[in-house]
């Protein structure tokens, strides 16, 4: 999935220069720190290093946002009750809000996942009438035209807030958050969404994060727990058994990854990140570049081969 990602209350993905069906795997993940700052970090998978130097910042403070992307760019929803999004270009590490389709309504605590042509953004909490309430609205963001619409995009089966998402090239799995166990399977080809036949989380989920590859998504449940779930796309099953837990409790974290690993920012106002290896289901905070400053309510995106192709 993030190879698609989503955030916790955000989303995540891993990008690489020219990553595509050519067989080049993702090389970097871009993490928005959240916490009301414009700072982003560039995480390099090959050496597990992280830096805020030379990385395009968001054009407005970002908190409880979401992100998804393809092999050339990441689209970041700012959150912070704003409709703004940023287009982050991996090749030159630049970011802009110019010419980038905004969300259909203000967004806070959303999540996102996508494939090579589109990103699906759950709005999370938005203005409904005169109140700020969790929403079922999703937007479809088309990378080629930088447009965004809520028209013809299946809503979530229930209200969503502080959720997370990950997926492969055909579907995105959305944990609705909002202290429930419900997940939805969103099919890109027909823009449909269902909670039927989709394995729920092992416990309530809120303020989590997710990342994955072409076969599975790893979901951190948030809610100040160390529990993660392994969601298998082929059979829509989910389990907390045999899945490496986080090194510390996680809340309002984020995640991104490539085809072999997911990098999880734990949130919870800490700088800690974990490296999760899909092949062995192990997780460690040792030797993993920390965030440049405390992270909470962040988001992340990146690209992995065989995931978004």
Q: Where are the domains of the chain?
A: 28-302
Judge whether residue 216 has pLDDT over 50. yes
Judge whether residue 33 has pLDDT over 70. yes
Pairing of strands 111-114, 94-96: unpaired
Least confident of 19-23, 110-114, 146-150: 19-23
Q: State pLDDT tens for residues 244-296.
A: 999 999 999 999 999 999 999 999 999 999 999 999 999 999 999 999 999 99
Q: Tell me what pLDDT residue 129 has.
A: 83
> What is the fold, at CATH topology level, of the domain defined by 28-302?
Neuraminidase (2.120.10)
Q: Tell me what pLDDT residue 253 has.
A: 98
Q: Tell me what pLDDT residue 59 has.
A: 94
Dihedral angle sign, alpha carbons of residues 29, 245, 259, 162: negative
Q: Tell me what pLDDT residue 1 has.
A: 36
Provide the percentage of residues in the chain whose pLDDT is more than 70: 90
Q: Tell me what pLDDT residue 38 has.
A: 98
Q: Tell me what pLDDT residue 17 has.
A: 33
Residues in Cβ contact with 300 at an 8 Å cutoff, skipping those fewer than 6 apart: 2, 5, 6, 7, 10, 11, 12, 13, 29, 30, 31, 32, 67, 209, 211, 254, 255, 256, 263, 265
Q: Tell me what pLDDT residue 45 has.
A: 95
Q: Tell me what pLDDT residue 16 has.
A: 38
Q: State pLDDT tens for residues 77-136.
A: 999 999 999 999 999 999 999 999 999 999 999 999 999 999 999 999 998 888 889 999
Alpha-carbon dihedral of residues 176, 179, 181, 183, nearest 10 degrees? 0
Judge whether residue 13 has pLDDT over 50. no
Q: Tell me what pLDDT residue 20 has.
A: 37
- Provide the pLDDT confidence category of residue 24 given band limits of 50, 70 and 90: low
- Provide the pLDDT confidence category of residue 10 given band limits of 50, 70 and 90: very low
Read off the pLDDT of each residue in 233-243 and give the average, rounded to a whole number: 97
Judge whether residue 304 has pLDDT over 80. no
Number of Cβ within a 10 Å radius of residue 203: 12
Provide the percentage of residues in the chain whose pLDDT is more than 90: 86
Q: Tell me what pLDDT residue 303 has.
A: 78
Q: State pLDDT tens for residues 41-62.
A: 999 999 999 999 999 999 999 9
Q: Tell me what pLDDT residue 23 has.
A: 52
- Provide the pLDDT confidence category of residue 181 given band limits of 50, 70 and 90: very high
Cα–Cα distance measured from residue 120 to residue 110, given in angstroms and rounded to the nearest whole number: 11
Structure tokens at 303: 């690209």
Mean pLDDT across the chain: 91
* More confident of the two residues 156 and 17: 156
Question: Which uninterrupted H or E stretch holds 262?
Answer: strand 261-265
Is 78 in contact with 296 (CB distance < 8 Å)?
no
Q: Tell me what pLDDT residue 118 has.
A: 95
């Amino acid at each position: 999935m993030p190879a698609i990602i989503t955030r916790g209350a955000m989303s995540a993905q891993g990008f690489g220069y020219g990553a595509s069906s050519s067989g080049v795997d993702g090389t970097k993940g871009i993490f928005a720190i959240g916490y009301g700052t414009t700072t982003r970090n560039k995480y390099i998978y090959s050496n597990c290093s992280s830096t805020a130097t030379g990385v395009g910042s968001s054009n407005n403070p970002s908190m409880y946002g979401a992100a998804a992307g393809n092999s050339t760019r990441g689209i970041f929803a700012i959150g912070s009750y704003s409709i703004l999004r940023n287009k982050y270009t991996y090749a030159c590490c630049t970011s802009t809000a110019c010419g980038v389709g905004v969300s259909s309504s203000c967004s806070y605590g959303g999540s996102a996942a996508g494939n090579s042509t589109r990103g699906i953004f759950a709005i999370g909490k938005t203005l409904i009438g005169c109140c700020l309430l969790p929403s079922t609205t999703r937007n479809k963001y088309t990378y080629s035209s930088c447009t965004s619409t809520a028209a013809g995009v299946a809503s979530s089966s229930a209200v969503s807030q502080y959720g997370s998402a990950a997926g492969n090239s055909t579907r995105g799995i959305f944990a609705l958050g909002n202290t429930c166990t419900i997940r939805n399977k969103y099919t890109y080809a027909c823009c449909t969404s269902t909670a039927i036949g989709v394995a729920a989380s092992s416990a309530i989920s809120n303020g989590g994060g997710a990342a994955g590859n072409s076969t599975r998504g790893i979901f951190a449940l948030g809610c100040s727990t160390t529990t993660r779930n392994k969601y298998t796309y082929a059979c829509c099953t989910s389990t907390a058994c045999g899945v490496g837990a986080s090194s510390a409790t996680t809340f309002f974290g984020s995640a991104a990854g490539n085809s072999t690993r997911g990098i999880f920012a734990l949130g919870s106002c800490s700088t800690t990140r974990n490296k999760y290896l899909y092949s062995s289901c192990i997780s460690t905070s040792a030797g993993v570049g920390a965030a440049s400053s405390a992270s909470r309510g962040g988001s992340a995106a990146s690209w992995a081969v065989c995931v978004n192709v």
